[in-house]
A and B are shown apart, each in its own frame.
Chain A
Amino acid sequence: MTRHEWPLFEVFVRAKRGLNHVHVGSLRAADHEMALHHARDLYTRRNEGVSIWVVRSDQVAASDPAEKPSFFEPSADKVYRHPTHYTIPSTVPHI
């Protein structure tokens, strides 16, 4: 039996002005317009958002968690990127 299942979309909601859109989940829809309507009905029934993005799940490129150690390694060994790396005398104000 053929299942005419619609493609999967990822949903991002901006909770209020001044905040980023945040991933809230996914849903099935025939196209982007229907995905937006479904997202409104599914993820913002109680004023959870003022703006919604939808993107087809098969269009998302993601890093591979198995490669996590090597992928993120470059940021681990550069302690001088952090402000706490620098010793400043306690007598110096506002720094």
Chain B
Amino acid sequence: MTDFALFDQAIARDQRIEPADEMPERYRSTMIRQIAQHAHSEIIGMQPEGEWITRAPTLRRKAILLAKVQDEAGHGLYLYSAAETLGADRGDLTQRLIEGRQKYSSIFNYPTLSFADVGVIGWLVDGAAICNQVPLCRSSYGPYARAMIRICKEESFHQRQGYELLLTMMSGTAAQRDMVQDAVDRWWWPSLMMFGPPDADSPNTAQSMAWKIKRHTNDELRQRFVDMSVPQAAELGVTLPDPELAWNASRDHYDFGQPDWDELRRVISGGGAMNEQRIARRRQADTDGAWVREAAAAHAAKNLEVAR
């Protein structure tokens, strides 16, 4: 028996690990890193679409987009709350994000150039997120898995509003249809990159699968996403920008081309169009909000004293 007999037994029996359980230090640090990165992605993920709230074409679209961006904030907070059960501190995680010591999904370092991007983000980016997140509802760390269940329920709204937005634009003018196709051309490959590097270049996958943090490999999930998206693209009337995309009857899956992995590496390490602006804005929000947090804390402390 190892020092973590109860932990090993729980993993082997497909039970969940809960906050106060003893766990290997590497499991704890891996979970904190993964959950924090996921939380940061939700928080930074408010920005690309948030830019379109004031420019949404109708009150209905504005209300939907507000609700969606509010959900992203909520998802970030569920996840920070899950990370805190492992001994992390939300303020410290935020600090790590704005100092560039922790990462967020590279997808949010691409710009949102037209309103069609709002639709394509809902359809493809949130669609890819759903593919990634549904299996995480059975992740071995209990608080993370429970947060994912809440998030997945809400992501379904995100994907459907995006697809509906695109259907509406596709039934509009030729210029609107071109906007949709242009947005699809720009977001397709980055969406495929959301699943991470190919399995052969993903050194942490084996350990994460053994600990049942992950349930499927990056390539398995990417394939699932492609298989889902092709008929949705056909229904919408857009072309996915991959000449190698073709049904393979012998595999019962679509064959598809490889994303530009050098681009992924470049964007992750700060070379994307929006990296600097995303972090600058998050840092600004943190700085601008500091006096509010301090005032609220002072008010609460004073009330406590009065009560005594």
A contact residues vs B (CB 8 Å cutoff): 1, 3-6, 8, 25-28, 30-31, 34, 41-42, 45-46, 62, 64-66, 68
Which of the residues A25, A30, A62, A66 comes within 8 Å of B22, measured between beta carbons?
A: A66
Which B-chain residue is minimally distant from A25 (CB atoms)? B81
A-B pairs, top 9 by smallest CB distance, nearest first, are: A3-B91, A30-B296, A31-B300, A5-B91, A30-B300, A26-B81, A4-B294, A25-B81, A4-B293
Which of the residues A1, A3, A27, A34 comes within 8 Å of B77, measured between beta carbons?
A: A27
Query: Is the CB of B18 closer than 8 A to any CB of chain A?
Result: yes
Residues in chain B near residue A66, CB distance under 8 A: 6, 22
Residues in chain B near residue A26, CB distance under 8 A: 81, 84-85
Interface centre among A25, A26, A28, A42 (most CB of B within 10 A): A25
Q: How far is the CA of A79 from the CA of B242 in the complex (A)?
A: 64
Q: With contacts A5-B90, A30-B297, A34-B300 known, what are 4 further pairs, Cβ within 8 A?
A: A4-B91, A26-B81, A45-B67, A68-B6
A25 and B78 within 8 A (CB):
yes
Residues in chain B near residue A45, CB distance under 8 A: 67, 70-71, 74
Which B-chain residue is minimally distant from A3 (CB atoms)? B91
Q: How far is the CA of A25 from the CA of B35 in the complex (A)?
A: 15
Number of interface residues of B (CB under 8 A): 33
Q: A31-B303, A65-B22 are in contact. Are A3 and B92 (CB under 8 A)?
A: yes
B296 and A6 within 8 A (CB):
yes
Query: Is the CB of B175 closer than 8 A to any CB of chain A?
Result: no
Q: How far is the CA of A62 from the CA of B21 in the complex (A)?
A: 12
Which B-chain residue is minimally distant from A38 (CB atoms)? B77
Q: How far is the CA of A45 from the CA of B151 in the complex (A)?
A: 12
CB of A2 to closest CB in B, whole Å: 9
Q: A45-B71, A65-B20, A65-B21 are in contact. Are A3 and B95 (CB under 8 A)?
A: yes
Query: Is the CB of B120 closer than 8 A to any CB of chain A?
Result: no
B74 and A42 within 8 A (CB):
yes
Which A-chain residue is minimally distant from B77 (CB atoms)? A42
Query: Is the CB of B299 closer than 8 A to any CB of chain A?
Result: yes
CB of B151 to closest CB in A, whole Å: 11
- Interface flags for B133-157 (1: CB within 8 Å of A; 0: not) read 0000000000100110000001000
Q: How far is the CA of A25 from the CA of B149 in the complex (A)?
A: 12
B303 and A64 within 8 A (CB):
no
Residues in chain B near residue A4, CB distance under 8 A: 91, 290, 293-294, 297
Q: How far is the CA of A4 from the CA of B294 in the complex (A)?
A: 6
Query: Is the CB of B276 closer than 8 A to any CB of chain A?
Result: no
- Interface flags for B274-302 (1: CB within 8 Å of A; 0: not) read 00000000000000001001101101100
Query: Is the CB of B263 closer than 8 A to any CB of chain A?
Result: no
**Beta-carbon contacts under 8 Å, B116-169 to A:** 143, 146-147, 154
